[in-house]
Structure 1
Amino acid sequence: MGYQPAVKNLLDQINSAEGPGIPEMTVEENRAGLAALYKDLVGEPQEVKKVENINIPSHDGEKIGLRIYTPEGEGPLPVLVFYHGGGWVLGDLEVIDPIMRWVANETSTMVVSVDYRLAPEYKFPIPAEDCYTATKWVSENIQSYNGDPKRIAVAGDSAGGNLAAVIPLMAKDRGGPNISLQILLYPVTDFDTTTPSYVENGKGNYLETEAMYWFNDNYLNNEADKKNPYAAPMQARDVSGLPPALVFTAEHDVLRDEGEAYVERLRQSGVPVEHTRFDGQIHGFFWMPVIMDDAHKALAQIKNALKKQLSTTV
């Protein structure tokens, strides 16, 4: 189908804007640009009962920042560990702060937002290892924050969706932590840029093929990394036994086909999957609740999935 009116309006604004594209800008310029783009799309930050910033040690001795959002409600609360998008290069706790507050309040779930270290300063596998370390820390320590370590879900969008698919694979290989649900919002699952969705949507649909080349080059060390399942979960030999998945894809997104291929891969391996393709929609819509009704529809599905898989009263 065509574009939803809100999508078309946004694309018209983006595509008519003067200035260089992502590949022509520096990392710093792109980081500032992402924050500026979403400033008016994420909405005003809601009040949350409690918000805490803490630092935990990474696997290599450096620090990983976590922001813990505790909504109203009797504990211990179910926990959602969230890894933000931005091509492993862009994004931070501040950009998605209003989204995390919204998710915590609407789902009555404790949200732990992970400030994993970014490429190209920290290339693969450091962002993935940081997210694994953070998730393991949550499993071992969240009880003291009134979270329930037996009810942990992971989630992320785009590159964060990639990480949310990778962490359950790591947990399976490494004997924990136990994850009850994986929520993958338009995830990167492979590095094949020849799929029909890349061909159809690679220009003028917000996330462009040339930008993905730039993100991939900044994140990966070499061609071999593209075959590593901790970078490309589609490359995993065995995805059986992974936690149930909720997966969103968008019709006009270069990442559509690889997300849907991963859905099929999980299903064929016996993993319960709920999948929604948002027709007429583009990449990144979940960060745009001010203008995109689909962001609210997606959150309603997330709320239902958390309720179903974590047996909560949300």
Structure 2
Amino acid sequence: MIHDLTTKGPRLDPAAHCLTLDAGVQSFLDRVVEAELLPYAPSLAPAVRRDIAVRLQADAPPVEEPVVHLTIPGAEAISLRLCRPAQGAARPLPVVFYLHGGLWALGGWDTHGGAAAALARSCGAALVFVDHGGMPATQALRQARAALDWTRAQGRDHGLDPARMAVAGDGSGGAMAALLAATLPPGEGFRLLLLFHPLVGPAAPDTPSSPWLDHCDLPALMAQAFPGQPAWTGLSPLDLAPDRLRRLPSTLILTAEADLAREGGEALARRLMRAEVDASALRLMGTIHDFFWLDGLADTAPTLSALAVAQRALTDAFGR
């Protein structure tokens, strides 16, 4: 701390604004950089990105609950994973409806499923995990809506309570979760919108980052996700009109300090507040994009803090 004699109080040393990562996060980054396991590195084919993401999760603990793999028939077969607590509940369970991230290129059940199942377990809920097909992004959103329609229509046959649902997502899945919530009529929506490090629009280039995303060629990835049209066409919650934003339920947005997507997530929270939606945002210092699902970050203080806040928000929402 430097004491500035021209003011009535101390001012921060400029060095205090430099990015400092949590020790566990830094250790993880050191390992993946040395092993060249960076799924967002430029010039990688989608299959290679996905393979790297799967390898990063190789030591993740298995899902504790029985997992039912369902396929919704139709023009686009949609894959769902349904998890309920091993000990059956006497009444239908609330639902965490989860949309995974990965820039529509590298996510899926085998990378994100364990973290999503643990989140649902923490609040005594069932999990509906949409294993959407990824690119193009518009197809993924269509599949998410079809999966939601199935859950609302058929959920009770599987021990679910469609009247007590929260929608959650990370990264690009966070954008889809917000858009999905905005399509529902007032009074028929989710109890909670829960977003982990959401990517909801163009990244802010001046945001502090880390080796995890330092060399990410985001424009190239967006060109793959939005073929033949400008990136984010129809898929940025930041473009929603105020009357659509007001359809969103209570919202909790958890951002990472060292993340190119941070400013977009926090901008969405501000827009929701201006639209008089019950919204809050919490920035996790010292951590990176993808902290929610990466097994190598599961025991770090920022991730544990985020999950504790998320658990409380879900528990409160399902109790309403």
TM-score band w.r.t. shorter chain = 0.7 to 0.9
Q: CA deviation at 1:225?
A: 4.8
What does 1:170-249 correspond to in 2, within 5 Å?
170-172=183-185, 178-191=189-202, 193-197=203-207, 200-201=208-209, 204-208=210-214, 210-228=216-234, 231-238=235-242, 239-249=245-255
8 Å contact kept, 1:139–1:177: no
- Describe the superposition over 1:136-165 as per-residue Cα deviations: whole angstroms up to 9, x where unpaired: 211111111111111111111111111111
Q: Provide the TM-score with structure 1 as the length reference.
A: 0.87
Q: Provide the TM-score with structure 2 as the length reference.
A: 0.85
Q: Give me the whole-angstrom Cα distance separating, in 1, the residues matched to 2:249 and 2:221.
A: 28
Larger Rg: 2
Specify whether residues 225 and 210 from structure 1 end up closer, same or farther in structure 2 by C-alpha distance, changes over 3 A only. Answer: closer
Secondary structure class of the residue paired with 2:217 = helix
Where do 4+ consecutive residues of structure 1 move more than 6 Å? none
Q: CA RMSD in A?
A: 2.1
Q: Give me the whole-angstrom Cα distance separating, in 1, the residues matched to 2:181 and 2:36.
A: 41
What does 1:241-260 correspond to in 2, within 5 Å?
241-260=247-266
Alignment correspondent of 1:5: 23
Q: Unaligned 5+ residue runs, structure 2?
A: 1-18
1:104 aligns with 2:120: yes
Q: CA deviation at 1:98?
A: 2.0
8 Å contact kept, 1:249–1:260: yes
Q: 2:80 aligns with which of 66, 82, 105?
A: 66
1:150 aligns with 2:163: yes
Which moves more between the two structures, 302-311 or 252-261? 302-311
Secondary structure class of the residue paired with 2:241 = coil
Q: 2:95 aligns with which of 79, 83, 97?
A: 79
Q: Which amino acid counterpart does residue 102 of structure 1 have in structure 2? A: A
Q: Unaligned 5+ residue runs, structure 1?
A: none
Q: Give me the whole-angstrom Cα distance separating, in 2, the residues matched to 1:28 and 1:176.
A: 41
Specify whether residues 29 and 177 from structure 1 end up closer, same or farther in structure 2 by C-alpha distance, changes over 3 A only. Answer: farther
Q: Which amino acid counterpart does residue 315 of structure 2 have in structure 1? A: K
Q: 1:166 aligns with which of 176, 179, 182?
A: 179
Q: Give me the whole-angstrom Cα distance separating, in 2, the residues matched to 1:253 and 1:19.
A: 18
Alignment correspondent of 1:138: 151
Q: Give me the whole-angstrom Cα distance separating, in 1, the residues matched to 2:266 and 2:46.
A: 30
Specify whether residues 209 and 265 from structure 1 end up closer, same or farther in structure 2 by C-alpha distance, changes over 3 A only. Answer: farther
1:282 aligns with 2:300: no
